[in-house]
Amino acid sequence: MTGTLTPERVLHDCRDAYVATLLELAEADPRIVAVVNDSVGSSKLGPFAERFPDRLFNVGIAEQDMVGVAAGLANGGKVPFVSAAACFLTARAMEQIKVDAAYSQSHIVLCGMSPGMAYGELGPTHHSIEDLAWLRAIPGLTVVVPSDPAETAQAVRWAAQYDGPVYLRISRMGVPDVNPEGYQFVPGKAVTLRDGADVTIIATGAVVIRALDAADALAADGLSARVLSMPTIKPLDEEAVIAAARETGAIVTVEEALTSGLGGAVAEVVVRHAPMPMRFVGVPDTFAPTGSVGWLLDHFGISADGVAAAVREVLGR
């Protein structure tokens, strides 16, 4: 397979870009504070804790309190960045996310760290494959899934100044730079990483690179795939989805989550505005078996091979 991970590809942990950007913003804006659930290490917030000890609130292993406290800090004029493992943040504090953040339209940035199946062998208790489906169901919440360090940094910068609740899904799984030089994140907008005519692959987050690799493989077979990166799951870039459906005639979605996340969101637009054949690459309706994150991604076909196979299937080729 061409285009699979090659040794010369430099991989980054998006948490590094997150923390570096947060530190930079916090230097300039005293309103910025961090709220964590004993997750300084897992969020890589050590430098923040060292530089701004008074502005880091560690409530301990208490996620409901963590998000509620963040809402209170927002009421007090602060801009709280909540950093916690995505699985615990979203599942344990779902009602606080719904009420204290979204319904209240509080300026809280909820950073779901190490999402998807990043915790691999630790198992489904520690996986966060449900978060995209759950959170896109909540009115008034913006859901952003950066695909590389540059996009992570820009999304953090945007969320710091956007006066509303945001969920940022920040990957720990190594990713290369996938966005072009000079890329500018625009909330609610898809990014055309590659144009194509036969099919559109719409991917989000850490697995955008796998969609690009699949497009390489398909090109070698004479298939021209458009690749859209979809950093904002909610609100979704409906125009880009409709254009993709109409112009390429088939869509394959790719995500490191249940396919009711990005896949469901795209399908809702497609059936309403431009019904076309679709396939969904992601985790099906199941809890993952034991395995490393890399093994699990391959197991569920969230890989260049799996995406290419889904494209061939949807095109009947």
Partner 1 sequence: MIVEEDLVPQVDPGAVPSDTLTVLGRVPEGASRAEAVAHLAEAARLVRRRDIQMVRAAGLGHVGGEFSVIDVLVSLYLCAMNVTPDRLDDPDRDRFILSKGHAAAALYTTLAIAGFLPADQLGTFMQPLSQLNGHPARTKIAAVEASTGPLGHGLPIAVGTAMAGRLDGSDRRTFVVVGDGELQEGSNWEALMTAGNHGLSRLCVIVDRNLLQQGARVIDTNDLEPLADKLRAFGMEVVEVDGHDHAALVDVFAAVPAASGKPTAVIAHTHKGHPISFMSDNVAWHHKVPSPEQVAAALTELELSS
Positions touching partner 1 (CB under 8 A) are 33, 35, 54-55, 57, 59-60, 62, 64-65, 67-78, 80, 95-96, 99-100, 103-105
Q: Pick the closer one to partner 1 by CB: 94 or 258.
A: 94
Q: Pick the closer one to partner 1 by CB: 100 or 131.
A: 100
Q: At closest approach, how far in Å is the CB of 130 from partner 1?
A: 20
165 near 107, Cβ under 8 Å? yes
The H or E element that residue 38 is part of is none
Q: Cis omega (within 30 of 0) on the bond before 235? A: yes
- Bridge-based pairing of strands 79-85 and 109-113 is parallel
Spatial separation of the C-alpha atoms in residues 141 and 168, rounded to whole Å: 11
Q: At closest approach, how far in Å is the CB of 260 from partner 1?
A: 24
Spatial separation of the C-alpha atoms in residues 168 and 103, rounded to whole Å: 18
Q: At closest approach, how far in Å is the CB of 241 from partner 1?
A: 29
Q: Pick the closer one to partner 1 by CB: 69 or 209.
A: 69
Q: At closest approach, how far in Å is the CB of 165 from partner 1?
A: 12
Q: Pick the closer one to partner 1 by CB: 45 or 217.
A: 45
Q: Pick the closer one to partner 1 by CB: 55 or 172.
A: 55
225 near 198, Cβ under 8 Å? yes
Q: At closest approach, how far in Å is the CB of 155 from partner 1?
A: 24
